[in-house]
Amino acid sequence: MAELADWGLELIRRSSTDISADVEASLRAARDREEDGSTARSTFEVILENVEIARKGGTPICQDTGLPAFYVHLPKDGDPDATRDGLIQAVKMATAEGLLRPNAVDPVSGKNSGNNEGLGLPYISIEFHDGDETVIDIMQKGGGSENVSAQYRLPDTDLHAGRDLEGVRKCILDAVTTAQGFGCAPGTIGVCVGGDRGCSYLGAKKQLLRRMDDVNPDPELAALEDRLHGELNELGIGPMGFGGKTTVLGVKIGVLHRHPASFFVSMSYCCWANRRRRLTIRGDQADIV
């Protein structure tokens, strides 16, 4: 799968160095809302200048290139082993080229593998779909933002949060307040309601693949996303936690059916450098958006 490895390398290059237009537009809008001369505004100026430097120079936006995660959809006759091998190869090449920082550390020995390959790394999820194309989404989020992600179990006595969307709202308000600037605010907030502990966290993370300007097809969830977006910005945490009008760039909520005894609310925080790109391969044509 030499070709897939090459396309995978290009996918990582785009994701690491060139932030998506929708994320950049959100950052520009956030800058424009801040007062002239404020620390918040100058922080957004630095962020946007950094985006430009990375794109022009072909260097990573941030030195923390995350634990690269790939979400793959293969056609029915696709080859999962070759896909996996190709992506691992791509990750190693990208690390050697300085597009990814070596981030795979053995928790027992403390040794860094040096090439981003390790137990469970890179993370590659492979599913089959009905289409005849291979679709590979990459997500790179920094460790700081992963560290402030959080999970709640409703009901929650301290928050007076019950097993309903109002309870979900309280969890997310609490989680983002606790996160302060630690996750490189303004963040994009992925939420999953339901599932078990494992798939709930994964569901929250997958919400971060949605475009910033999309609308949740479920009107109740769409309304909650809008309300939370407004309320979270009222917290005034601002970029980097310096104070300001934009604490989050967006809120994306998904649901999974739950066990009758469980009601999990998971929040996956993505740093402002929300790096995600999609590679689509049809026959011998490949395209990255």
Partner 1 sequence: MAAIKLELPATEEQIRSLRIGDEVRLYGTVVTARDVAHKFMVEEKPEFLKPLLKGTVIYHCGPIVKKVGDEWTIVAAGPTTSSREEPYQAEVIETYGVAGVIGKAGMGEKTSAGLKKSGAVYFHAVGGAGALLARCVKKVKDVLKLEEFGSPEAFWVMEVEDFPTIVTMDSHGDSLHRKVLEDSEAKLKQLL
Query: What does the binding site for partner 1 look like in residue numbers (CB under 8 A)?
Result: 37, 39, 42-43, 46-47, 49-50, 53-54, 57, 59-65, 98, 100-103, 105, 110-112, 114, 142-144, 147, 159-160, 170, 173-174, 177, 180-182, 184, 231, 234-243, 271-273
Give the strands of the sheet with 187-193, arranged side by side. 150-153, 264-270, 187-193, 248-255
What are the distances in angstroms from CA 202 to CA 32, 158, 184, 206, 267? Answer: 33, 26, 21, 6, 10
Query: Cα(130)–Cα(255) distance, rounded to whole angstroms?
Result: 23
Q: Whose Cβ is closer to partner 1: residue 75's or residue 102's?
A: 102
Q: What are phi and psi of 284, to 5 degrees?
A: -100, 15
Q: Least distance from C-beta 134 to partner 1, angstroms?
A: 29
| Beta carbon of residue 98, minimum distance to partner 1 (angstroms, whole number) | 5
Which lies closer to partner 1 via its Cβ, residue 165 or residue 235? Answer: 235
What minimum distance in Å lies between the beta carbon of 249 and partner 1?
13
Q: Which residues of 127-150 are buried (b: 16+ CB within 10 A; e: fewer)?
A: eeeeeebbbbbbbbbbebbbebbb
| Least spacing, CB of residue 112 vs partner 1, in Å | 4
Nearer to partner 1, 130 or 158 (CB): 158
DSSP 8-state symbol, 280: E
Residue 161's DSSP bridge partners are 156
Q: Where are the alpha helices (DSSP H) in the chain?
A: 2-17, 21-33, 39-57, 80-96, 143-147, 165-179, 197-207, 219-234
Choice between 10 and 133, CB closer to partner 1: 10
For residue 255, what are the β-bridge partners? 193
Q: CB of 11: closest distance to partner 1 in angstroms?
A: 18
Q: Cα–Cα distance between 210 and 252 in angstroms, integer?
A: 8
Shortest separation between residue 91's beta carbon and partner 1, angstroms = 14
For the bound state, the minimum distance from the C-beta of residue 50 to partner 1, rounded and expressed in Å, comes to 4
Tell me the closest approach of the beta carbon of residue 239 to partner 1, in angstroms.
8
Q: How far apart are CA 273 and CA 152, in angstroms?
A: 25
* Three-class SS state of 209: coil
Residue nearer to partner 1 on the CB measure, 35 or 127: 35
Distances (CA, A) of 71 to 28, 80, 84, 114: 28, 12, 11, 23
Of the pair 45, 220, the CB lying nearest partner 1 is at 45
Q: Which is nearer to partner 1, 74 or 240 (CB)?
A: 240
Nearer to partner 1, 138 or 281 (CB): 138
